[in-house]
Structure formats: structure tokens, C-alpha cells
Structure 1
């Protein structure tokens, strides 16, 4: 067994937290099938002295996806469905823009990111909105694909939402209740909750506060409710609980002499199902990160780390980032959870721990991750043409606008200014300031959302007939999926 240098890991964590502005980190490490390290560092809330440990609760975001494939595997073992069943067998209302894809998409397809939609599709529909889970699924038929069905990989959240609804269709239980009863409870994940509503209802304390960089300053931001896309992103957990979860997978589906999943199910979940192209940005950071077979399993990324099979997944929501990773060949794993959006902290910690577990030559991962192109990107400020005026009076831009998938947006005049609102998403409320010609600067009232531009399109009749958004994306929200010209209907 390779030597695990706990003090060296602590030094790396403290260095990364300071270098990459992260208030809190919780880490649990499994070696040879046992939890050998489980600690917390920093403060739960910037500016306060709030202790952090391995029981501190974080939003784990897309790490939630693996609970969907595990839940479906339980049902498959019970012969309740088959992986190759059509999605429409369980969700008759499920339709994609492409009729062929709608008819042919199988349950398995929902878990391997191959449906043809753009990456993180439907983020504009579910993010912060009051649309229900079923309403979100119903709107997928209006989203245009960017590739043919099963031809390319593009990471999805809404397909995992659909898979969660299939669990409900089969069992009569919501995914939330099913995963709690069949996974969280038997694994003694006592501080793990399927959504923010159940977290709040529990009344527990020791909850990490989310933080993000706003105008160059690390700031406290509120929790965002993502329960409407729950199976894809809404679980809240701790590093200790997730270590218990990883132990079950490393032990071939068993936990404390109780079978949660069969070894055959674990193998099926963790085998490569869909190849994806690894980001070249990651290989810039360090050559060790280059994988020879980057693939998706079911709710997991399956690849190699220096020739050793690695199974893991990251997660990110507003103000939180983390990752869990397993090296099954040596029965080891790592969980890192943080309460800021700079991924360099959790990756520096993760790779330092993985190197120790695998016995690889140590790397200064904090120094390596300083080169992360993603974290060093700067939003470009569009050039403003001076001395221009709008073509029309402000009240001529007001009205109701209709996007094919999202629904209604409104532009109203309030106190001699224009205000843009997405009808179902309170966070998407913005003040518009004239930029040039018929283009206005979008300043969202939620400062977490980056500024953008909206251009009003004027027809041959001299009236506004549509608007076009030029809005930088959020992590899971790509505004370019909206209609290029969102037409004015009133």
C-alpha cells in the first residue's frame, strides 16, 4: 500500500484555498476500502468564523446524476424495465424536435449525452424558473438539435431529469423519495438530501454558504433552487456521506454486508458507453491529465489516469464546485467539496490525493492549475459606437415577446427606463441602458448574472418586430439556444 501523506495534503489544501479564494473545503479519502482521511478546512461563510468538517453540507450539483443511474440499475435488477426500452413507453409526452430521435431514444440514451441537443440544453428553461419538471420535459420538443441523434456527445441535464421521471413512472415514487429510501438511507448518508426543500425541512446546521466572484470580488450569493431539474443537479451532501457512497461502488455494490447493487450492475454503470473529446485546455495544465480513453459511463466519466482506470464526476452550481473520483484497481477514492466557483481548488486537492493513493511522483498541482485557461478567461466588453440614438421612442420597444421554447419575455417602461423580464424566471430581470443604435446593455438585477446586450429588430414598417439577445452564458445556461429573433407578439 502506498504511503498517504496527510500533512502534505493539508498543506496543498491551505495553499489552494488561499491562492484561489475558496472559503471552505471538505475532503474525504478512501484507501484500500477504508476512509483514512476526512476533514474540513476554512469557514462556511466569508467573514465569519464558522467551522468546517466532513459533515458540512454542500450542493453537489451534477454529482447527483450518478444516483439516477444507480436507481435505474436497482429497478433493472428487479426486471421493472429494460435499458433498451423506448423513453416514450414511460413518458408518452416526451418528444424531441426531431421525430426520429423522439421515437428511437431509449432509456440508456438518456444517460450518455447523445440526444443531439446542444450541451447543457434547456438551461434557459429550468434555471431559476417556476417551470415544473414535467413542463420542462414538455418543452424539449421546441429546442433545435445541433447534431444528429447518437452522432455526437453533448453534456445534458434535462435527459437525466427525464430519466428521473421514468423512475417515478415505474415506481409511483418521485426520484427524490426513491433515492432516499434505496440509496441514501441504507448507506447511512444521514446528511444527504435529494433537494433543497428537504434540506431546509430537516433543520440541520453546518451548511456551507455559496460564494462567487462578482466584479472581481469574492461575494456571498444565495442558494439557487434547482429542484425542478432535481435528478440532474439538486442533491446536497457531505464529503463523509459521499465517501460512504463511493465505498459501496468500490465494494462491488455492497455496504456493511448488504447488497445495494449487484456487481454486474456496477460493471455496466462504470463501463465506457460514449466517447467524448477531452478538452485541450486540461492537457495544457499538466500532461498527466491527458486521458487515452475519455468516455462517459452512466452518470460517471470513465477514463484513465496515468494508465489506471478512473471513475468520477464533478459538480457545479451557483457558488459551489466539487468532485468525487474512484481508482477501482486500488480500491481507493477521493471526495472534494468547496463553496466557491474556482475549480482549481478542488482539482489541486483531488490530484494531490490521487497521486498519493496511486504512488505517482508528486506534482505541485496548485502551481499547475494556475495555468487553467478556463479560470483565467475574461469576459470581453463589446465595443460601443458613440454618439448614436435609438431609432424609436422608448415606449415603442415595449411589449410581449415569444420564444419558441421558453415562452414569454416582456419589455416594459418603468421610470423612463426599459426593463426586460423572463416571465417564469425572477432572476432574469434586467434594466436596459442604451448602448448604441437599437442595442441596449442588459444589467441583470441579480448581480451574479453577467451583463449582456439586447438588440431590437425593426421591420420595414418602422416598428419593432423582434429582439435578439447577445448574452454571455452561465455554467448551465446557454442563451444562444433561444430563438435568434424572439418575435414580438403584442
Structure 2
């Protein structure tokens, strides 16, 4: 049964009245609050919720800002945020529960549960196991096929994902190297649903939310007016936080559910973290806890990890990233969606967990704040602060921009029909579907048939072709590369990023369009 107060607030209150806080605890809480304030001030965040747990107790709960900038409704410990890819650990946990229940095994072939499953290579299809779906070792490129998931809304289904995988060509060998993907987590959700004999959203409620008391979380379709406090995503426009892609009255069942579609509040995320920090918790068997937190796929140790954390190893478990930080074992993950950022950091040997939820452009904010809170947990005498790490991130960004400067597109102009003749027509990619490059009132339009936000205007930049998307929230402009032949049937149209540092989920490199017919 849910506590009368949100979990974090209720437990924190109980601690206050049951045990007077020590001077050290009071100092720690003040330092955490100061770090949150510094982060909000530095990055102009619309809203944030932060919690820290240790030894089974909540030691800090901090919320700032609003659900929607200027709306006046404050963020609270039970405000729902999109946790994005922190969903992956929940999907892995549900699968581990099914292994405990004897419904499946980690080494089951995927086709045992989903006979229609196909990868590009028949050998990979036959040999891919359930475990492989979770550890980013498929041979697919970074974010391959993500355009079937985002931007939302679109009309791709989970069945489309499974059907489309066979058309995505690998860029590496199966099980040889790490490359982050989302589509195979969608497949993992469908494997879980098939093994359990129920839709994935119902399975998550039964196996995760109910036994752990996380009944504030939402998955699948739900009504906004029945969910209480719900944060809306934001982007920065002229230095202000502006809501983007806000929820309607009914939040739909999204295709990416098992990869990044769960929403939770801070109180329920602290329940989730608390379970993992308690090795005796009965939600999972000891064997499955070990399986989830085993290093299954090596990952590169970045220069930042070496310099900031003195890290020596990095690997992916089932839905979690594993590494060492200043001699401590770290289990963590981040989550990123348009206008929503999350971070979960666990230090199991210290029985400490950190949760950060942000409803605005928060990549740098969660990184700097998470680093400070983690260092303070490892060494209470740490003097690290948000300004220091924010400065390092600014320098990283400047160095990256110097190495890969953005192309100058200031000379862009609307393309004319005559000069774009070789591009005009309806084109089709085998997994993304049709895109029409056809005249419209303001020039030449580029419009996806299945992803309505992927519509824009064809521009000329020198000798190159650029797509300027109509919706400003689609923040990855594209170069179109005309067919090498004259645009006739069978010629291939390809796409690439204008900004080499753009969101990898706009996986233009995986697209290859063949011309189908003339414009209507």
C-alpha cells in the first residue's frame, strides 16, 4: 500500500523525528542543497528533483522549479519525469524476474520467443540470445533505426521495429564491440511480453511497480488528469526555457516503452534505488542480481573518466553501466529525451544512491551535479563544486567545436524546382518508409510519410542540399546527397548530419532511399 505521503518525504520526515540529525548529516544536507542551487543557477533549469539515499535512509530530497516554465506549479518529490533510458534497467529487471520464475533463460534464442525476429545477417538472427538484446553488442551502429522511435509522435509500431531490423546493415561484427542501441530493448520488451503472456506495460506494473510500491510511476497509455504532478519537457529559446512537445489529455502507449518510455517521480525512483542497494531484498534472487550487475560487454574508458574518476574499467551489464570511481564500484545510467534528462548513480559498497531528474536541456547539468554529489559521497571532505565541473565541460565543448567546426550554412536559400530536378519525387527507404521531395507553397518540401515532425524545406548551400526542418524541436539539420546517377529508378539518395555532434538518434547514416515515383 502506498504511504499517505510520498515515499521520500515521508521517510525523510520519519528520520527527522526519530533520530535528530547529526552535525555531519546537517552539513551534508546543506552541501547537497547548495550544489542543487548552484546547478539551477548555472544552467537556468526549469525544474529539477534530486535525492540521495544511504544505508536504507533518505539523506536528501531537493526539488526546484516548475512543471512548466511560468505555469506556477512547483516540482515536488512525486512529480513525474520521463526517465528515458533509465527505463532500460527496469526492463532488464523485469526480464530477470522472468528468469527467476522459469519463464525464460538468458541464453534463449530470441526467435524462441519471437519467431518473426530477423537481423540483417541470418547467422546473427539464429544466434542472438535474450542477453544480447541488453548489452549493445549486435554489430549495429550507434542508435541504428532510432528514427522509428523519435521524434514523437510517429506511426511506427513495435511490429515495425521487429520487421525493420533486417534492413539495418551492421557496421561491426556481432559481439565484438559496444555500440549503444535502443531498438533491441524494444525487442527485449516484446520477448518479455511473449514469455509472460501479457502486454509489456501490464507486465511492468505487475512485476515492478506493484511489488516495489512504485505506484506513482506510469507506463503505457494513461490519462494526464489522473497522474497528479507531471513535468513537461523544455528547450532553450533566446535564453529562456520554453515547453516543447507537451502532453495531451491522454498520454499514448509509445513504441519506445521498453527502451525509454517509463515516467516516475523522485520518491518512486528512490524506492527503486533502495531496492538495488539492499542485497537481501527479495525482489530478485542473488543469482539474478549478480547477472544484472555482471560486466557483459566491455566499453571504452573515456579520457574524462580517467581524469575525473581515475577509472580503469568500464562495461555494460543488463541495463546498467559499470565502472570504478576513485577505487569505488559504480553502477549507473543516464536517460535523455527531448527536453528531459535523468541520472541514476549507485555506489553499492557505500550503499549510496543518487537520483537526478530534470525537465529541461540538462546534459551538462546532470553531469556536473552528479559528479559533485558522487565525490561528496565517496569523500565527505571533498571540496568539489558545480562551477569547477561546469567549466571543464565548457572547455570540452569548445575543444570539440574547434576539432569539428560547424559548416557555414549562412548562404542558404530556398531551392528551386529546376535545379532540384534530380531530387524531386517520392523516395523509399526499406525501414523508414517513404519521403516525398516535392514542390510546396514556399519552395521544395521534404516530408516523411510516417514521421510527421520530419518535414522541412529543401535549401541550397553552395553546391550542397540541406533540409531545414519546419519544427524547431527537430534540432538535427540534414544534408541530402543526390544519387550518383541521374535520379532514375534504382539510384540511391543518402543523408548525413550537418552538425557532426548532433543527437545520434537522428540516424541519417542508416538511410538509403530509392526513387519510387514522381511527385503527385
TM-score in same-fold range (> 0.5): yes
Is the CA contact 2:33–2:62 (under 8 Å) kept in the aligned structure 1? no
Is the CA contact 2:305–2:311 (under 8 Å) kept in the aligned structure 1? no
Q: Unpaired runs of 5+ in structure 2? A: 1-21
Is the CA contact 1:253–1:266 (under 8 Å) kept in the aligned structure 2? no
For residue 435 of structure 1, the aligned residue among 457, 461, 468 is: 461
**Cα deviation, residue 281, structure 1:** 4.5
**Cα distance in 2 for residues equivalent to 1:24 and 1:407:** 37
Is the CA contact 1:211–1:220 (under 8 Å) kept in the aligned structure 2? yes
**Cα distance in 1 for residues equivalent to 2:345 and 2:230:** 23
Residue range with higher mean Cα deviation, 365-374 or 386-395: 386-395
Could you say which residue in structure 1 is the equivalent of 2:271? 244
Could you say which residue in structure 2 is the equivalent of 1:364? 385
Could you say which residue in structure 1 is the equivalent of 2:12? none
Gap change, CA 1:218 and 1:322, over 3 Å in 2: same
Is the CA contact 1:243–1:335 (under 8 Å) kept in the aligned structure 2? yes
Could you say which residue in structure 2 is the equivalent of 1:164? 189
**Cα deviation, residue 477, structure 1:** 2.3
**Cα deviation, residue 205, structure 1:** 2.9
For residue 153 of structure 1, the aligned residue among 155, 158, 178 is: 178
**Cα deviation, residue 244, structure 1:** 0.2
- Deviation by residue 1:31-87 (Cα, 9 ceiling, x = unmatched): 111112123112222233321221111100000001111111111111111111111
Is 1:103 matched with 2:126? yes
Could you say which residue in structure 2 is the equivalent of 1:48? 71
Gap change, CA 1:169 and 1:386, over 3 Å in 2: closer
**Cα distance in 1 for residues equivalent to 2:181 and 2:412:** 41
Could you say which residue in structure 2 is the equivalent of 1:275? 298
Is 1:211 matched with 2:234? yes
For residue 361 of structure 2, the aligned residue among 328, 338, 341 is: 341
**Cα distance in 1 for residues equivalent to 2:413 and 2:184:** 48
Could you say which residue in structure 2 is the equivalent of 1:476? 505
**Cα distance in 1 for residues equivalent to 2:414 and 2:66:** 49
**Cα distance in 2 for residues equivalent to 1:143 and 1:318:** 24
- Deviation by residue 1:189-232 (Cα, 9 ceiling, x = unmatched): 1220124x32x356223211211235665432114878102100
**TM value normalised by structure 2:** 0.85
Is the CA contact 1:449–1:474 (under 8 Å) kept in the aligned structure 2? no
Is the CA contact 1:124–1:477 (under 8 Å) kept in the aligned structure 2? yes
Is the CA contact 1:344–1:366 (under 8 Å) kept in the aligned structure 2? no
Q: How does 1:452-463 map to 2 (within 5 A)?
A: 452-457=478-483, 459-460=485-486
**TM value normalised by structure 1:** 0.90
Could you say which residue in structure 1 is the equivalent of 2:39? 16
Residue range with higher mean Cα deviation, 456-465 or 15-24: 456-465
For residue 185 of structure 1, the aligned residue among 178, 188, 210 is: 210
3-state SS, counterpart of residue 227 of structure 1? coil
**Cα distance in 2 for residues equivalent to 1:67 and 1:389:** 47
Is the CA contact 1:456–1:464 (under 8 Å) kept in the aligned structure 2? no
**Cα distance in 2 for residues equivalent to 1:269 and 1:130:** 33
For residue 430 of structure 2, the aligned residue among 400, 404, 412 is: 404
Gap change, CA 1:279 and 1:145, over 3 Å in 2: same
**Cα distance in 2 for residues equivalent to 1:120 and 1:35:** 36
Residue range with higher mean Cα deviation, 357-366 or 375-384: 375-384
**Cα distance in 2 for residues equivalent to 1:318 and 1:30:** 28
Residue range with higher mean Cα deviation, 142-151 or 223-232: 223-232
Gap change, CA 1:14 and 1:215, over 3 Å in 2: same
**Cα deviation, residue 405, structure 1:** 2.2
Q: Unpaired runs of 5+ in structure 1? A: none
